[in-house]
Structure 1
Amino acid sequence: MLKVHAARFAAAHRALEAEYRRGGGDWQDRFDDSMTRVYNYFAQPPVRARFCATALPMLAQVADLPAGSLDGFAAPGLGSLDEPFVEFYRAYDAYRIALAQWQAGQGPKLAVDPQILVASTEVTGGSYRVAAR
């Protein structure tokens, strides 16, 4: 697969690199940081199993593509690869919303009278000062 599509991968890399170069300055650091973020995004542990399950059959499809036909596969393919992450964060957002709603529905925190927690010898009847309960 890499050999068949090597020219297209190289062209895409050069185009992306050129875009960063046009930004001037420390383009290489920005480029490297962006590539690291992309790598880290697709390596997130909570989604890794679903991502791999999605990516594996796609690898077989890409391997069967003739040279020059990768672009037609890439856009919808990237959307498919991203779907496990979108679903994970959609579920996480739903969890956060449900948690906030649950927390909002709870009564106020129990108010404690600080006088109850004052040390007293009356509880133990001895000379040790223990906090009353």
Structure 2
Amino acid sequence: RWAEALREISGRLAEMPADSGYPAYLGARLASFYERAGRARCLGSPAREGSVSIVGAVSPPGGDFSDPVTSATLGIVQVFWGLDKKLAQRKHFPSVNWLISYSRYLRALEPHYEGLHPEFPALRSRAREILQEEEELAEIVQLVGK
């Protein structure tokens, strides 16, 4: 909705539209929003530290990930949880599709996870392989029939 409002205001100001009518600076505005997340030193006394977490929700029209808002957001964020309509319809909650979801923090977190369980990275990789196999088999079943 925020991006839609940005497109509307940009149009009223007669700014040159870019992809799908959004302003050319859409990516920069999204980046400045998401870059607010992180650790912070609080003002005042006593001295304190805190953090700001941002959990954004992007709902591309028709699930089209090539939408300008979606593609700009995916280029900025470090963690993405892709929700799957089919999983939600099957009452599978949370309806996170692990095959399209990702984290760019895996390498940074690997020493922590190895400290908890030395085989964690290998187990994570195997679980992902199993999920990919399941997806491929589901497609074959869909084509051939039950």
TM-score, scaled to structure 1 = 0.25
Larger Rg: 1
Name the structure, 1 or 2, with higher relative contact order (CA <8 Å, separation 6+).
1
Q: Which has the higher strand share?
A: 2
TM-score, scaled to structure 2 = 0.24
